[in-house]
Amino acid sequence: MPYDIEKILKKITIIKNCIKNLEELANLKPKEFVSDFIYYDSAKYNLQIAIEAMIDIGNHIISRNGLDSPKTYADTFEILGKYNILPIDMVNTYKQMAKFRNRIVHFYDDVNEEEIYSILQNNLIDFKKYINSIGAFLGQKLI
């Protein structure tokens, strides 16, 4: 069954919009970021949505290829790595992102402003790497 490219591109656009929002928040100084809950809440929301879009894309590709069925969100990235859809050296990073998404949703009291700010400063490139990998798999330039 062919991929629903329109669906994948819509999810890629969501990730790109989240990255843009997160990059803007990353420009804030640490004290400014933690001084206003709107910045923190916006960052958490955009991280959650971007990660969920990554998972949705992965599950779409897995389903359309008839690959192993993931039991967890982290499994989605494990399977994509196993079948060389994602680079194996990035799989653990993406699995950690899925686990972080679960923490935001289910263990929200275990996530703090400093951790979110650190992600903004150090890890946004991981989203772009994911988009590039999916683009390479589909034979399209997505960034």
**Mean pLDDT, 10 residues at a time, over the chain (143 residues)?**
88 98 97 94 97 98 95 97 97 97 84 92 97 93 77
| Residue 97: Cβ within 10 Å count | 24
pTM score, whole prediction: 0.94
pLDDT at 6: 93
Determine contact, residues 91/81, Cβ cutoff 8 Å: yes
Strand, coil or helix: 4: coil
pLDDT at 49: 98
pLDDT at 1: 58
pLDDT at 97: 97
CA dist 23 and 61 (Å) reads 28
pLDDT at 2: 80
Q: What is the largest CA-CA distance in the chain?
A: 50
